[in-house]
Structure 1
């Protein structure tokens, strides 16, 4: 490798990290807008309209790589349908959690998903998990318990929805790893877009209610920034491996805490913040161990409802 080549690679990694941080910032603002909307409109309606933007992005991206008919040709179509369906159900639960759970605490609970991925990879992918990672996972769950301790985050449907959302998303990630052994990223993307579009519309249409023009403007903003955010994430992943940029996704936690305080006037309490830090630390440890083991990480961009 020549010095100029090495310098270019370092520059690309730096740009990928900056793009990842910017994308997380965009997704955090989307969550603020979504949280505002679900106080008035059904989470199913908001999810449906938000997903229209992502489905458009996914189809345009796929058509630039291959004909739609070719992209739809999957060696594991049942798994692809299950995977696409899991994601939209996960987003529904995330949107319902947004109604009552503050952004900071919700983001902290959501960040448990890398730990759950480690567990679900055992039965689904047949991975072997050593004692070190098991301990890290246990410590991460302890952090989640700190957040929902007696006197902490009030136990209610919102917290349950957040936990279900993280669980479903972790299963989705593991299945994404599974199908990547058989299908291209374009095929996975088109199934994600089409299944989400069909299911979100089939359910969301029954919860439709007329929107004020100002609220419709918020939805359009979400749709536009969703396409922008996912496009930037794809660009970032073309510059650096997912394992390199993935740890920077934890920037979503302080960003969510800041936005929650700025927009909604809610500060995460100190003890819950300690729990969130424990979760992040455990997740980073698990990621580091997986990187050492060189476990493949799906190259698909992060999706609506997930920063």
Structure 2
């Protein structure tokens, strides 16, 4: 087997490209929400996501038609991403994509609170302080007493909670299947969960709608595939800060597509949430590194 040499610059470049692709999926979803129900849009996103992944699986020589290992966790992981996607699409239907995306990024903070209880991970005062700061950022973005506040933006917080549990189920499934195969199972799970619901809201898409639905799946598959590729060149600690580049890309797309640019309060909230989330992720990686060093009989100073 050919071993891929680490090249952080290539990994970072692939990660940034992925963060440009993913907001295009959100753009299509927002445009589609004018004529189609959120459930149908989400269903189509998973259907086409799975279809676009099939050529990649064939190229990699991965067998996809067998029962996955840990099927219950695979289904629960898919359910969490399905809930996340439905809630996020509901949020961006009537709200700007960058604002909703900012609230989605509370997920690392929620993981920091829940993972010590559920997964037995460590938690310390510094991460606790970062979590509190992050939720202050949420209040700054929401501004619930402002005239511009829309209750539908709270769907983005639901998405953030769902995504946090998706991350934790992903940790439980780590190394159980190739990442690309797990991604395919996630798409299949989303289709299975939503198919019983889509009939009640179904509207046959026209050619434009069908093209945008296929585009959602394409950009989802390409974005996630690039993330997997990025992880082959760089470590998680090197790549994690570039997750937040998605907000920059989403802001640019929203400006050109909808003439929207976040105000100073949203930018302040973005800064607080991103800084808190980045610190929580960095601290977690450092503590994991120290734990591995202790197991190996070494002492690392943080």
Given the two structures, how large is their TM-score scaled by the length of structure 2?
Answer: 0.86
2 CA distance for matches of 1:212 and 1:193? 23
CA distance 1:289–1:65, shift in 2 (3 Å): farther
* Deviation, structure 1 residue 88: 1.0
Q: Give the one of 201, 205, 213 matched to 2:195.
A: 201
2:253 aligned residue: 259
Q: Note the alpha carbon deviations across 1:225-283, whole angstroms, 9 max, x for none.
A: 33322222222122122332121010111222222222112221112211111001111
Structure 1: how far apart are the matches of 2:142 and 2:16? Answer: 28
Aligned to 2:296: none
Which residue is equivalent to 2:283?
289
Shift of 1:218: 2.0
SS of match in other structure, 2:121: coil
Q: In the alignment, which residue of structure 2 is the partner of 1:77?
A: 71
CA contact under 8 A between 1:17 and 1:236: conserved in structure 2? yes
| Mapping for residues 169-188 of structure 1, pairs under 5 Å | 169-180=163-174, 185=179, 188=182
**Is 179-188 or 164-173 further displaced after alignment?**
179-188
The separation in 2 between residues aligned to 1:253 and 1:24, in whole angstroms, is: 8
Unaligned regions of 5+ residues in structure 1, if any?
Answer: 1-7, 296-307
What residue ranges of structure 2 are gaps of 5+ in the alignment? 290-302
- Residue of structure 1 equivalent to 2:64: 68
Structure 1 residue 166, shift from structure 2 partner: 0.6
| Residue 33 of structure 1: aligned partner | 28
CA RMSD of aligned residues (A): 2.3
What is the deviation of 1:184? 5.3
- 2:16 paired with 1:21: yes
Preserved CA contact (<8 Å) 1:152 1:272? no
Residue matched to 2:43: 48
Matched residue SS, 2:247: helix
Instruction: Give TM-score scaled by structure 1 length.
Output: 0.84
Change beyond 3 A, Cα 1:99–1:212: same
2:298 counterpart residue number: none
Does structure 2 conserve the Cα–Cα contact (< 8 Å) formed by 1:147 and 1:153? no
Query: How many pairs were matched up?
Result: 284
| Paired position in structure 1 for 2:294 | none
Please say which of residues 199-208 and 115-124 is displaced more in the overlay: 199-208
* 1:68 alignment partner, SS class: coil
> CA 1:275 to 1:152, structure 2 compared with 1: closer, same or farther past 3 Å?
farther
